[in-house]
Every structure is written in C-alpha cells, then in structure tokens.
Structure 1
C-alpha cells in the first residue's frame, strides 16, 4: 500500500447542504447556455440535443471519478491535491496552476459578457468600465467569508434555475396547447424540417462538441467545495449524482424547447431565443428579464471562478508547489492572498475589453476549453492511479465508487483527446492549441527551477 501525505488545511467548513446543492446546480448552467448556444446550434442544428447528451454522459463520468476521491479525501485543492499524491509533484503542480489559469481565463470571459449585457441598458457605458466594477464587487464578496460566497452563489444560481424552468414550462404550453400562438399547438415540426434533424450530419455534431464541453466548464467546482463543506460525505454524492439530471433538464430540455418553437437556422438571428419565448406568451419586459438573468449567470460564474482560484493557490502552497505566501489565511479563514492575486491578473480582461472588445469572448473561450479539458483529463488519470494505490480492502470500503471502472474512465479520456483534435479545425479555436503548449512549457520550466532551488537549499551546509 502506498503511503500518502495529506496537506493540512485550516479552512472554515461553512458551506451548508443548501449552498453545495445550488453551487453544483449553478456550476452546470454557465453563460455558455445563454450566450454561446446560438453558435453551437448553427453547427449541429436540432441534433445539438444529441451533442449535449453525449457531452453530458462524459461529464457525469468525470464527476463520478472526482466524487470517488472527494468523498474519500475531501480537500479544497481537490484534483490538484490528488494528482500531487497519486501521480507525482509535477502533476499536482501542472493541474493546480492550469486550473488556476483556466478560471482566470474564464473569469475574463464572464466579465466580458457582463460588459456586453450592461451595454444593453446603458449603451454609453464602455465594456471595460463594467468589467472593472464587477471585478471589484466580486473580489469584495469573496474576501468576507465563505458563507458570503455561498449565499451570493445560492441566490444567483436560483435566478438562473427559475428562469430556465420558466422558459421550459412556457415553451411546453406553446408547443402542446398553443398558448401565445393563437391557440394553435406548435407541434414538433421545427425539429425535423429545415434540412432535417441533422442538417450538417455527423460532422456538425462532432464540431459542436467543442463548445458544448466549454459550456460544461465549472461542474468540477463541486470537488473544490469539498474542503469547506460542513459534511462532505453526505452532501457531495447527491450533488454529483444529480449532474446528469441537471444537464438533461437545463441543456437538453431548454435547447429542445427552443428549437421546437423556432427553426434552428433562425435561432439567434432575431434576438435572444429566451427573450422571444417569454415575449410570445405575453410577459412584459421579457428582454429586460432575460438580460438580468444572463447578467446574474455571468456574475455567478465569475464568483465561482474567483473562489476556485483562491483555494487552488492555497492548496498549491500547502503542496510546496506554489509560493508559501498563498498558504496564509485571513481572520475569516479565507485564502485572501490568492484571491487578491487572481483578481489582479483579471485586470488583463479589463484591458482586453478596452482594446479588442469584439473578439475577447471567442479567444478566451478557446483557451479556457483547452485548460478545462486538461483538468478533466488529469482527474480521470488521477482516479485510475488512486485505485492502483489502494488495497482491495480499501477499494471495497470506498463510499462513492466510480461506475464501470476502468472502462468508463478510458472512454472518457479518448473523448477528451478527440475534442482537442477537433479544435485544430475550428476557426478561432486553434489559437488555444498554440497558447496551451507555451503555457505547459512555462510550467515545466518553472517546476524545474523550483526543484533546483529546493535541491540547492537541502545541499547547503551550515557554516561552522
């Protein structure tokens, strides 16, 4: 049996079951659904439903792999900590810093979206100014205590959930009963007309999978919250098991309703499909309501991202894979130094919104997709190594086992490799395949320099 070293954490376990469930729910509903769904629909047509089903199954497998480890060993560093223990120190170093990088990049995307939607109400306000205000606001929330983060995330996630359920219910009424359509039921014709259910064939489904996987980025946040959950063994398993139902309802359900009501090739060309649906059933101010919902979705995702970066830097410090500076907590047991450092890095997004506001979202989402796929890949590999490090007796005692192990793990790994390959053939996405090797090269050099300094420190003999 392998001897495992655990990092000693001092974080406050202030997240209740209510917080964890809504954080998990909110993590499965990102801005990708509201802001990026039109692009994916244009790639696959109504068959985007199949894309989200396939992607959802893979995400569920990744989450079960993470859940097995998070329930057995709940820490805030989550998969970075596990990679450090079960693969090696470079794996922990690579995972932690890449995940930190991912959330900084995603945070840039989210505050970019905030600027776009604030412009809807206040066209004279520049995007960079909105981004700056949001950055300062969310940084303040995260510095108070973990309960403040939990409450903020609870209510903002709830707004997203209520809005999408409302849209689905309203859509079903139009489809089945014709309410809002002069009493004439819409039926399912739009799903099979206008070129058929798969207008762009299998190729369309394959290429849509890249943006589909980007939209799922954030579900792994459940593993990060394990270190601050009041009772991780009780709250983490149901939060993870419900991921598949959330994907079916909020992605497959919402997009299915959307494309039943409108021809797939018109979605996004006449304004937000969410706005059009609420407008159709006679809800006053539908555009303002949806704009507010998407704004809160972006704020929610940004809040989660900043939370994650602080915890990841904190755990990297405990692993000796990051500066000791980040291993200190404030009086509220918050890793404030990591949060403030990440926040300062996010100022880059404010600058980008000033220089190239029209291209920020595409470039950032491309880089974020590579980073999140890297994190998911390491989760799967780590879970395989986690099993190998355990005796038969220890495996038998695991409380939340990965189903169909190891087959599902290897299938999921092959799928993630396919997503990366597909990115090379998508305009705007291939930039990430240039950025990623540079980033990994920087990390490798940084790790080697760190190890060399550690070796020199050990070999220094005290002066007599």
Structure 2
C-alpha cells in the first residue's frame, strides 16, 4: 500500500504543486472539459444516426456522468492527501489501481491530444490549403509546452479564454436559433424553423431502437474530459468551495451546451436534412446569411481542439508526476521546476504526442486508424470512470466515518454506483454492434496486459519499498 508520506499530501515547499487556480479558472476548465470538438463537429453524425432521440441519449449520458463526478468530488474532499483520482484509487483499491488508473488516464489524453493536433492541422488548412500539417502541429505543441511550463495560473488563464470562446459560440447559436424559431425563419428550400421538427410528429425514434443505441456509441465520446476538474484538485485554491461549485454546475452546462444547441439545430434544419460529415453549427450560420460563417466557426472549432489538447498536456504531466512520486514511473518524471510545475513530465508528454502524431501521419488510411484509436481512448475513459465508482464503493465500506463527516455526499450512494456501472457495461455491449468499434474493443485489453506485465515485473517491488 502507499505510505502516508507518499499518499499525495500537497506540501507547500519546493517539491510541491502550487495551488494557483482560482474559482474562475476551475469553473471554465470544467466547462471546457465538457465541451469538445465532438459537439461542434460530431453532432451532425449523431443527429443523422439517431434523429431527435439523440437529445435523450445525451441527457442520459450526462445524467450518469454527473454521479461519477459527485463520487469523485466526495472522495477528493474526504481526505486532503488526495490530489487526484490516482491517489484515492491507490489508497482504497491498492497500489496496482493507482498505477493502472494513472497510466490509462495518461494514454487517454495522449491519444486525445494526437486527435486534437491532427484536427488543428486540418482546420489550419482551411485557410492555408498548401500548408504542411507539421507546421501547425509543431507550433501548437511548442506553444502548449511554453504556456504550461511557466505557471499553473497561466494554464488556467489560457483555458479560461479558450472555454469562453466556446461558450460565446454556443450561446450565439442558441440565441440566434431561438430567434429564427420565434420569427418563423424560412430557409431557401422553403423549410420553416419550428420546434415541430424536433417532435417529428411524435416519432422521436425515427431510426428505431437500434438507431437510438447507435447514438449512444458516438455521443459518449463527446463527454470525455468531463472529469478534468478532478486532476486540478492539488492546484485549486480553496477546493472545499470551488470543486463542488464546478461539479454542481455540470447539469446546467449539459442542458445548455448540449441539449439546447441540439434542439435549436434540429428546429432550424429537420434532422433528416442534417449533413452528417459537416458541422451543423457552420450550416446554421450559413443559413442565416453570415458570409464569414465558415471561417468564424472554423476558428471556434480550432480553439476548441487547442483547448482540449492543452488540457491533455496539462493533465498528462500531472498524472506522470503523481505516478513518479509513488514509484510508478521513473523518478526523473516527478521533478518539480522552480515554478512548481512538473517540467520533466511535461516534456515527456509533449514528446509522446509528437511521436504518436508522426507515426499516425505515416499510415495511409489515417482516418480509419484514427477512428479505432479514438474509440480505444473512449473505452479507456470509461475504465477510469468505473475505477472512480469502485473506489467510492470501497470508501463507503472502509471509511464510514469520513462519509459521515462529509459535507459533499454523493446522491444515491452505492446503489447509484451500481446503476452507473451497469450503464457503462451496456455501452460496452453496444460497441460490439459496429465493426470499427468492435475492433477497438478487441484490441483494448492489450494495453492492460502491458500494464500488468510492467507492474508485476518492474514496478511492484518499488511500490512495496515506499
């Protein structure tokens, strides 16, 4: 087991992370984590696959993940030694759990980071078609490194403005869309904007139950990163006040950013006319006659991808730092810079994203490989979410006195944990229905086999010495 000396106590000294994130930062980081490129670019595909029922799918997924966040919130605030979910999973489930969760979460964000920098390169080519994709990729990774190496406060400021751009874009979409609905806006093809398109004559499942289920497979990917607030716990000022605020606002964010935007999009453009491989955000702005719509939304989506990649660089460096601190990674990766930033972990993560991008750029069918890799990432995220719930269940059994004193108890407790775990199992079953997601599901266990071998052969003895 981890000893108390290494269980994550945030010491205010030269070798500790510094609490430099304010409530303003953590609120916007949490919002940024809940809004990814999946909403901007992937919503067209989800609408095409599931029709109006996709609204219900997003609502159910958001509802379930809210309880994952509440479980994480109670655990992080139950013991001041916990800096992230690595700490409480290791303490409650055993050192192996901290090792598996830490490295799996690291891989999640490395893969997501690669996905984001590829997206950034694609968005840059919208303006400069002949630009080598390596140029924006190298510039972005260099920029993320510089911004993260200075201080955690600068990271918080950058994420604040990135998230603000996303919020303004979605708010503009919702307000303009509502105006179009209220005024009966008529598209060039004669379609009149109306909430009746969403109701679809009472048939909100036009693609049947299987179409509804297919929507879950895609929609769950849009929520990866919602747990990001939990990786900032060691660097948040007054976590007892600020973490609950960030977590409690999740339902409002989901309703506004996901549900309202989808309702507005399908009210203006009937679901069966939404083009799956184009951003419905762009299409709606084009409809109302804004000539720079494509460039405007391209900029928003680019900043969204940049925000996600920047968050990935931040979180992976903290995961590696936490692992190194406990013997689960080379000691050199746990060194803190003079600015109280895990510099070596930061360099390591940036180089891994760059190397992974280099490998993927050599694959002829890049998007095919990309789909499998990002699906694997989503499956791994569900593993991390499940480990948070399992840790909570053990905490309730082993530490009833801490739960009794908690001022931020998870609603539903252990029973709700079982329900959410059953939901994740249901999602995994759905992933077997499509060939590409099934392939990802088949290959994912190889990662855990690799972790098990490394842990048993190399890491376990080091953990027992701590």
Name the TM-score, length of structure 2 as normaliser: 0.92
2:375 counterpart of 1:366: yes
1:39 is aligned to 45
2:428 counterpart of 1:420: yes
Superposed displacement of residue 225, structure 1 = 0.9
For 1:26-105, what aligned pairs fall within 5 Å after superposition?
Answer: 26-73=32-79, 77-105=83-111
2:323 is aligned to 316
2:458 counterpart of 1:450: yes
Change (3 A) 1:270 1:217: closer
2:13 is aligned to none
> Which consecutive unaligned segments of at least 5 residues does structure 2 have?
11-15
In structure 2, what is the Cα distance between the partners aligned to 1:425 and 1:60? 26
Corresponding residue to 2:348 among 332, 341, 349: 341
Superposed displacement of residue 230, structure 1 = 0.9
Count of residues in Structure 1 that have an aligned counterpart in Structure 2: 456
Superposed displacement of residue 128, structure 1 = 3.8
CA displacement, residues 204-236 of structure 1 (integer Å, 9 cap, x when unaligned): 222221221111000101111111001100100
1:8 is aligned to 9
CA displacement, residues 24-62 of structure 1 (integer Å, 9 cap, x when unaligned): 111110111012212222221111000001001111011
Between 275-284 and 103-112, the greater mean CA deviation after superposition: 275-284
1:379 is aligned to 388
CA displacement, residues 179-222 of structure 1 (integer Å, 9 cap, x when unaligned): 57599962223224499321112222222212211110001011
SS in structure 2 at match of 1:244: helix
In structure 1, what is the Cα distance between the partners aligned to 2:48 and 2:253? 23
Between 190-199 and 9-18, the greater mean CA deviation after superposition: 190-199
Change (3 A) 1:101 1:179: same
Name the TM-score, length of structure 1 as normaliser: 0.93
Superposed displacement of residue 261, structure 1 = 1.2
- RMSD of the alignment, in Å? 2.3
Change (3 A) 1:195 1:116: farther
In structure 2, what is the Cα distance between the partners aligned to 1:74 and 1:107? 30
2:142 counterpart of 1:140: no
1:403 is aligned to 411
For 1:165-176, what aligned pairs fall within 5 Å after superposition?
Answer: 165-176=171-182
CA contact (8 A) 1:314 1:338 kept: yes
In structure 1, what is the Cα distance between the partners aligned to 2:229 and 2:447? 26
Between 204-213 and 325-334, the greater mean CA deviation after superposition: 204-213
SS in structure 2 at match of 1:406: helix
CA contact (8 A) 2:324 2:330 kept: yes
CA contact (8 A) 1:353 1:360 kept: no
> Which consecutive unaligned segments of at least 5 residues does structure 1 have?
459-464
